[in-house]
Structure formats: structure tokens, C-alpha cells
A and B are shown apart, each in its own frame.
Chain A
Amino acid sequence: MQGLLNWILWLPIIGMVAVLIVPKEKANVIRWVSLVTTLVTFLLTLVLYKGFDLSLPGIQPNTAFSVPWIKDFHINYSLGIDGISLPMIILTGLLFFLCTMSSWTIEKSVKAYFALLLFLQSTVFGVFMSLDFFLFYVYWEVMLLPMFFLIGIWGGENREYAAIKFFLYTFFGSIFMLIGIIALFYVSGKGPASFNIMALAGGHFVNETITLFGHTLSFERVFFWFMFLGFAIKVPIFPFHTWLPHAHVQAPTAVSVILAGVLLKMGSYGFLRISFPIFPAATVYYSNWIAILGLISILYGAFCAMAQDDVKKLVAYSSVSHMGFVMMGMAAMTTMGMNGAVLQMFNHGTSTAMMFLMIGVLYERSHHRWIVKPDGTKGYGGLYTQLPRYTVIFIIAMFASLGLPGLSGFISEALIFLGVFGKYQSIAVVGVLGLLIGAAYLLWMFKRMFFGEPSEEVKEYEDMNAREVFYMLPLCVAVVVFGIYPTPILDIMRASVGSLVTLLGKFAV
């Protein structure tokens, strides 16, 4: 088991090298190589689940791995998983496998595309596995490179602007995080623990102060915001979300899926792994603000989604709204709210991935994404009669996304509201409006796209083919099964989330 994390982390890189070796002309070989790589990687993440000890709150010792990287600075190459990162790792494995399948129709520079996709997968794993702060930062940043190229080369008509905006925004946030990392390095005494995320955690810096422009301030409270900026841009929390609609709309389908399904979770994962455990007192102190920002994200994202004519943009804004639920649940700092938040991270990963994949399927037929075209005419309409298979799967995706009981979104949102209500009643009450608006924009979108008379154009669309149905099935199963029986995921995270809540509880006023 010791080497398993290394295998998961480096297998996509091996696959990437294999893809690069295959001659350019053999596009199908390239596709199959990447498919097999992602499939094996996914299966390995399931092996990880099999060996997971549900009772342990911290890092699983049987898979943890650490070797020194830069000895002078105590920087280590150290990997490990706990109950918060494992669901994300499994989600990553699954989504990349499905995305490889959905990218089968990519024709432009096939080789570079799949090489970058595999590279991206490795860096995402790196973020979720790193236990060394320096390593974490390196993966966090390296991940931008494949994303930049994937959006910039294979994206829509306005892709260059979107790619640059995405890159600059995230880089801007991470620079603050870097300053925070370095400050932590010095304040923790430059010792062996200074880059070790696990050793830094626990609120050792409560009494540290720093002097800025003549004012003595609490170290925790200042650097909490530095880290916050890095992660909040990634989540994204209002008002740092403006890069997201552009990046989503312009990115190719698979990249949108990865972006919404996995990359946004890196932000909230960063809060859970770094901000909260390392700065617990500041987290408790500022939790009201996080909850309020979460609430604004929920409502603002939902209202923006309602105003969109572009269906992909609509789903992109719905991500802002749904990630707001995650932030709100985390800010509650109750066992229920926190569990709900982590579960929502997973469930949003599956349901949004479904939505984006479905839009991708439709886009391949229509080559536009307008619900209402700019000239005021209907973009689609009557899809229900023309594409029955498509409609059934779309309905599952949509209802999972709006939180219908029985599907996965409901459980996590219910848990979040239960957790939040105990602490912030008014925020919880207003937050429920987000669910209502969510239902409204999704159902309204559904009405405009699927009901009514099909236009001539829509009549020519073919229904989903076997490949498309095949890669949607695992997600359909996931949203249904985890909607009825979420216990397996809750079991994974229970111990880890519990210890985090206990830690934060110690610092509660």
C-alpha cells in the first residue's frame, strides 16, 4: 500500500509520456492509451478506498509516503490522504475517466490534448494528496499550465481572453497564498515542521503577532485573509467569481467538467486542509463573514444563472451558487454542516459534471448553446420529443442539481441547512431562497429547451449514441445511489471532519 499514492499520482504522467511517444497520425491509439490510463488510475483510487480505515481521523498511515526533497529547508515530498481528500481523489479518478471518453470526438491536435489532460489529472491528484505546503503550492500552480493551454487551444471563439483571465486571476490569488506560506515558515521556527501541513495544524499561532505599518496585529487574522484570497478565488466565492463564467463558457466540454467537478473543490478543500486547521482561531473569529459571503454567492449566483441565455453560462453560475452552499456549511462549524459541505463537494462534482457533459453532447449536435438566441428566437425547443434518451438523463442531472429528495444534491443541502440553522438562523432562512431560485432557473431552462414545438433544426439532431450513454451511466448511478444511501461517503469523512470540528470547537468563543 505504501506506493499506491505514488502510483495514482504518477500513472497519468506515464500515460502522458506514452501518448507523446505515439505518432501523431495514430489518433485512435492515443485515445485508447489515455482511456486505459485513466481507467486504471480510477480503479487504483477505488483500491485506495478498500484499504481505508474508517475509524482513523487523521492521515491514513498505511498509504502515507514521505521523502526529503530540499533538506536545507525541510521541504518534503510527502503524500497522504484522509477522509476529506479521499472522496475528492475518487471523484477526480472518475471524472477524468469519463472526460476522456467524452473527448473522443476532439479532432484538433489530439496528441497534445490528451497529453495535457493526463498531465492535469496528475497535478490535481498532487493537490489533493500533498501534505507538504511547498509541494501543495507547486501542484496548485502547475495545474494552471495545462488548464491554460486546454482552454486557450481547444476552447470557444473567445478562448484566449478566458484563458488569460483564468490564469491571471488564479495566479493573483496564489501569490498571496505564497506570501502566507513563507510567513508561516518563519513564524513556525524554520524547523522540520515548517512546511508540514499536518504539523502546522492545530492553532499553534494563536498568540503570534505581526507589525504592519506600525500596528500590531494578530498573525492568524492577517494571514487567514492571505490564504483566504488564494482559496476564495478558486472556489469561487463572490466577489472573486468573475473569471469563472468566461472560463467555463469558453472551455471545451471535458475541461468544463474538470473545472466545475474537481478544480473548484480544490478551493474548498484548501479551506478544510489549510486555512481552518492552521488558523482555527481566526476561522472562528471570521466565520460570520465566510457564512455571509457564502450566502451572497448562493443568491447572487442563482440570480445570475436565471438571467443567462447561454445554457453553459447558466450552469457555470449555478456552480457559484452551489459552492456558496459549501462555504456556508463550512462556516457553520458544526458536525452536520461540515459533513454536509464535504458531501456537497462530492455531489456537486457529480451533478455538475453531468450537466456539463449533457450540454457538451447537445453542443456537438447544435454547435451553439443559446436557450434564446441573441436575435430573440428560440435556440432549442422540443428536445423532449426528439431526444428521449437525452431527456431522461438530463432530467436526472437537473433534479440532482436542484436538490430533489431522493437524488444526491438533496442530502448534502439538507445537512448543510441543518448544520447552519443552529448557528446562523437568519442566514439559513435566507439561504433557503437559493434553493427556490435554483429550482426556478433550472425548471425554466428545462421548459424553454425541452418543451414546445421542435424547430426544423432540432428535428435533425440524433439521440445520444451508445458511447455517450455509457459515460453518463456511472454518474447517473452515483447521483441516485448516493441520494438514497449516502452512508459510504459519510463514513469516509466522518472521523476526519469530526476531528476538524473538535479542533475548531476548542477555539470557539
Chain B
Amino acid sequence: MGIDLLANLGFYVPELMVIMTMCFLLLIEAAYKHEEKARSMTFITSCIGLAITLITLLMSGYDKPMYLFYNAVVIDHFSTFMKVIMVIGTFAAIVLANQSEDIYTELKTEFYAIAFGVLLGGMLLASANNMLTVYLGVETLSILSYVLASFKRDEAKSTEAGMKYALYGGISAGIMLFGMSHIYGTLGTIQFSEISGQMAAITAGQKIVLMISFVFFFVGLGYKIACFPFHMWSPDVYQGSPIPVTSFFAIVPKMAGIACILRVTMVFFGQNDGLQATWIGLLHIIAAMTMTVGNVSAIGQDSVKRMLAFSSIGHAGFMLLGVTVAGDIGTSAVLFYGATYLFMTIVAFYVTAMISDHMGSDSQASFKGLIYKHPWMALAMAVVMFSLAGLPPFSGFIAKYNILSVTISKKYYGLAFIAGLNSVIGLYYYMRIVKLMIFDTAESEEKISGFGFLNQLIIAGFTVPVIFLGIFWEDLMSLSHGAKLFIK
């Protein structure tokens, strides 16, 4: 048995790399006497660590799913795809943290280390194959996130963000655990595969208990992706946190949560039609409400960071819509959406961080006349805004198109209609940013400079796929289509 576990570790290299880098970071920070030097060393170490993680992830293309550690964890194409998104998101957040003034200089190494911890939790969640792993993943993700949210410890808003996040997180984790315990009590197992086997033959009484327990279970995950009605924390936390943290939150925990919800939906409810219909019906309402609440609330926001927070709630709603299709095409649409969402979100947050550093505020007014101050940044931001709104020829359109397409394939016309209307609402507030940047003139036309070369490189490097994937999306589509979820 012990040998078996050791052999399993061979498939777990990416996660091990993350853990190792995290340990290295702490050691390096302590080993150097010269702080400046330590910081640059830790930055390089984290970049190298992420690069190795990415390479090992890309190499782990197994033909069949690998069940590790007594079935606690599953490695399949789907989870690998999600992990790649999370690793790239973490990389972008770490680079931004290194450059941004929003993270205090003396805390940069801590940021890297904690980000790695959150990433580990996310990776665990994406490949969780039993309920305990889910809980472990959620908690790893959450507890470290609370610290990140209150990273600007002397600022009231940031402290408030951390506090709020912790309170909400604690309660929702508790509810989730409560739900899990009932599922265990009813079915006598925590393994996903065994649960799905038993779902086909449950009694009517069990069904009622299970449905309620699954809703409780969903609370924990729904809270992580900030879907309606568990979204109230997200704008405050996003606004209060430093921007690198916000961009990190918008990607890693969200994608991890979506991955887990997708897996749970596919595994648990593939067998029992009656239960599936109820669950999918519930997810429909949640998805529709999530995108509507997110988009409608985004209209009134003055802080761009907060607007992006609400818009990311809207995007989570879109992804949930793909989840409800509960099939291969739905999965591939969600993965495609996730990949494009990653690129768009990173560019949007980078530009916002730049404006915020330069102007001292992330209000809409600080975006005025950006085209005269820094034309390329303004163009990149405009591209991303249109892409987020879902306008061709940008990749956001293809992502939305795929979601709408799979929704209509199941004949959910009403939902497709709501999703379409939400795109129109979304266009309104995204367009307003474009309007401010390009149509309006600023008080001063002083050029913005002093923004790191690395940051500009990342903005450019992430804007290109936003355009490219909008026109040549065949390869990513077939890749995400190949990343099927394996159900035992």
C-alpha cells in the first residue's frame, strides 16, 4: 500500500512543485540579510516555480483519468485545463504584485507565498474526487485568501474586506460541512464515485434529504464563485483588497469553484434523472440571477475595480449557464469561457492598476482621456472591454457564443434570452469606460510613464490572445472539447 501511494506522487508533480516553491520562498526570505535582494530572489523563484508547474501540467496528458490517494484526487484533462488557467492567473497576479505600489514592499514575499498556497487549494479543488478533499481545498483556498484581502493592513477598507471575507467564508464553510455530513449520513460514503453509483437507486425519503444537503453543499462552492445569492461579499472584498489580490481573486478561486461545481453536477446527477432535473432547475435560477444581479449592479459603480467585481459576478453566471448543460459540450464551453475570461480579466486589472497607481484612484473619472496619455494602454483596455461585452471579432464573443449555443442545444430558450439581454447590459457599462478613455479629454494631457516594462509586456501579451482567439478559435475549442470530464 505504501508503495502505491509513492507511485501516486509521480502523477502529483505539479502540486508538489507548488508546495516546494512555497517552502523555498519562505526559506529564501529568511536566508538573505539584504532585503532588496531577497525580494528579487523570491520573485524570480516564484516565476520559475510557476513555469515548472506549468510545464509539468502541460506534460501530464494522460489518456485516462488517474485516481490518486485512495480515490481522493483525480487527475484528468478537465482538471489539468483548469489548473493551467489558475497557474497563469497566479503568474499574472504575482508579476502585478511585484510591480504595483498597492502591495507594500516589505510584504511582497509574503504575497507570493500566500498566493502559492491559494493556488494549491484551487488545484486541489479542481481535481477533488471526494467530499473531504473538496472541504480541504475550499478551506486552504479561503483561509489564505482572508489574509490576502486584508493585505493593506493599515487601511480600513482592506481590513474590512478581510473581515467580511472571513465571516462569510466561515459561515458558508460551516454550512457546507453540515451538508456534507448529511450526504455521508444518508449514503454512507464520501467518495464521489460511490455516491454517483448509489444515486440511481435512492428512495423518495432519501431524495428529499439529499436535495437539501446538496443545496447546503452548494453554499460553500457558490460562495467561492460569488454567485447569487452568496455574492454580497464580493464587491466589498474586491474593492477593499489591493488590485493584485483582486485580480487574483477574480481568477483562481472562481475557476476552482466552477471546476468543482461542474464536477459535482456531472458526477452526482448524471445517474438520477429526477434529481438532476431539480438540481439543474435550481442552477438555472441561480445562473440567471447571478448574471443579472452582477450586470445590473455594475452599471452604477464609480470605482472601476468594483465595476469589474460585479462584472466578474456576471461572468460567473455565464459559466454557470454552461454548467447547467451538464454534458461534454457544456464542459468545453465553460473551459473555453474560462480561458478567455482569464486573458481579458488580467488585462483589465493591469490597466486599472496602472491608472490607480498613477492617478491615485480607480474611479471612472481617472480613465478620462487615457488615449492621449497612453494610447496603447487605452487601446488594449478598449479591446478587452469590447471583448468582455462579447463583441466580435474578440474572443469574448466566441466564449459567449459557445455558452449560448450549448444553452440553446438543450432548448433553454428563455435562459438564452436572459443571457443575451445581459450581454446588452454588459455592453453599456463596458462601453462607458471606452467612452471615457477615448471620447473624453482629460484635464491634463501629460503622458503616463514609469509603468514597468514587464507589465506592459504582459498587457500586450495577454491582449493578443484576446484578439487572436476571437478569429482562430478552432484549436482552443478542440482542446477544451478534448478536456472531457471523466466519470466513472
Task: Name A's B-contacting residues (CB within 8 A).
Answer: 69-72, 137-138, 141-142, 144-145, 148-149, 152-153, 159-160, 163-164, 167-168, 171-172, 175-176, 178-179, 182-183, 185-186, 210-213
Contacts and interface: CB of A to CB of B under 8 A. Distances in A.
A182 B428 CA distance: 24
Contacts of A210: 411, 413
Contacts of A164: 428, 431-432, 435
Interface string B197-241: 000000000000000000000000000000000000000000000
B405 interface: yes
A178 B420 contact: yes
24 contacts: A69-B474, A70-B473, A72-B477, A72-B478, A137-B392, A138-B392, A141-B391, A145-B386, A149-B438, A152-B438, A153-B438, A159-B439, A160-B435, A163-B439, A164-B435, A168-B428, A171-B424, A171-B427, A175-B423, A175-B424, A182-B408, A182-B416, A186-B408, A213-B414
A186 B409 contact: yes
A105 to B, nearest CB: 21
Contacts of B427: 167-168, 171
A138 B420 CA distance: 16
B420 A175 contact: yes
Contact of A71 (B408, B409, B474): B474
A116 to B, nearest CB: 11
Contacts of B393: 138, 142
B474 A72 contact: yes
A179 B404 contact: yes
B397 interface: yes
Nearest to A186: B409
Given A167-B427, A172-B424, A182 B404 contact: yes
B416 to A, nearest CB: 5
B397 A185 contact: no
A340 B173 CA distance: 69
Contact of B411 (A152, A176, A211): A211
Nearest to A137: B392
Contact of B405 (A69, A171, A185): A185
A182 B405 contact: yes
Contacts of B440: 160
Contacts of B168: none
Q: Which 4 A-B pairs have the closest CB atoms?
A: A175-B420, A138-B392, A152-B439, A182-B408
Interface in B377-399: 386, 391-393, 397
**Which of A72, A175, A179, A210 is most buried by chain B, counting CB atoms within 10 A of its CB?**
A175
B451 interface: no
A179 B409 contact: no
Contacts of B431: 148, 164, 167-168
A150 to B, nearest CB: 11
B408 A179 contact: yes
B189 to A, nearest CB: 39
A294 to B, nearest CB: 26
B477 A70 contact: yes
Interface in B400-432: 401, 404-405, 408-409, 411, 413-414, 416-417, 420-421, 423-424, 427-428, 431-432
B421 A175 contact: yes
B408 A142 contact: no
Contacts of A186: 408-409
Given A178-B404, A179-B416, A145 B474 contact: no
Nearest to A139: B392
Contacts of A185: 405
A152 B431 CA distance: 11
A178 B401 contact: yes
B61 to A, nearest CB: 20
A141 B397 contact: yes
Nearest to B420: A175
Given A145-B391, A167-B427, A179 B413 contact: yes
B299 to A, nearest CB: 12
Given A175-B421, A179-B408, 18 more contacts: A138-B397, A141-B391, A142-B391, A144-B391, A145-B386, A152-B435, A152-B439, A160-B435, A163-B439, A171-B423, A171-B424, A175-B420, A175-B424, A179-B404, A179-B420, A182-B408, A186-B409, A210-B413
A167 B427 CA distance: 9
Contacts of B413: 179, 183, 210, 212
Nearest to B410: A186
Contacts of A176: 420
Contacts of A159: 439
Contacts of B411: 210-211
A266 to B, nearest CB: 16
Contacts of B424: 168, 171-172, 175
Contacts of A178: 401, 404, 420
A70 B405 contact: no
A164 B438 CA distance: 13
B353 to A, nearest CB: 26
A160 B421 contact: no
Nearest to B436: A160
B322 to A, nearest CB: 14
Nearest to A167: B431
Contacts of A72: 474, 477-478, 481
A142 B390 CA distance: 11
Nearest to A155: B439
